[in-house]
Amino acid sequence: MVADATMEKVRVSRGGGKAVEASPQHALALIADKWAVLVITTLAGGDIRYNALRRELAGVSQKMLTQTLRDLECNGLVARTVYPDTPPRVAYSLTPLGRTLVEALTVLRDWANEHYHEVEAARLDYCGGSPEDRGAGDAGGSAGVEVAND
């Protein structure tokens, strides 16, 4: 009974770390995070160790990568394998459920890589000025999503 209740919950740390009732909106919130998209599309290439994954994802902090991996693992999208080497070796890979997202998220990542200049031009046209003219606290600024080119 307890296991059934747990299976019906989704953990999204960005929502306070509390389990919430499963819904399509919460499942979407899990994968709509920029780091989740980049982690999943990077893991599509196969197993990868933590530090190698962090190098692939330029700009991600250790805390954010760890949090994203835990969220994805908790929700069945990523598997964490610990190898009994000395020192212990840990690798991450996509689960079968995680692999179902690769095609859709790769299209999204590729769109961002192809159109980010157009998005920036539209934002500058709408908000005015250049990125250097605005301070970090300006309400018209962007979140600054960086997407690595393959």
Taking each continuous run of H as one helix and of E as one strand, the counts in the chain are: 7, 5
Residue partners of 33: CB distance under 8 A and separation at least 6: 14, 68
Question: Cα(7)–Cα(126) distance, rounded to whole angstroms?
Answer: 44
Q: What is the pLDDT of residues 39-77, one digit of tens each?
A: 999 999 999 999 999 999 989 999 999 999 999 999 999
- pLDDT > 90: percent of the chain: 56
Per-residue pLDDT for 9 more than 80? Answer: no
Average pLDDT over residues 72-95: 93
Report the length, in residues, of the chain: 150
Neighbour-count burial for 111-126, b at 16+ CB within 10 Å, e otherwise: ebeeeeeeeeeeebee
pLDDT grade for 133, boundaries at 50, 70 and 90: low
Residue range 2-102 in CATH 1.10.10.10:
yes
pTM: 0.71
pLDDT grade for 130, boundaries at 50, 70 and 90: low
User: Quick one: CA torsion of 84, 96, 57, 71, rounded to 10 degrees?
Assistant: -80
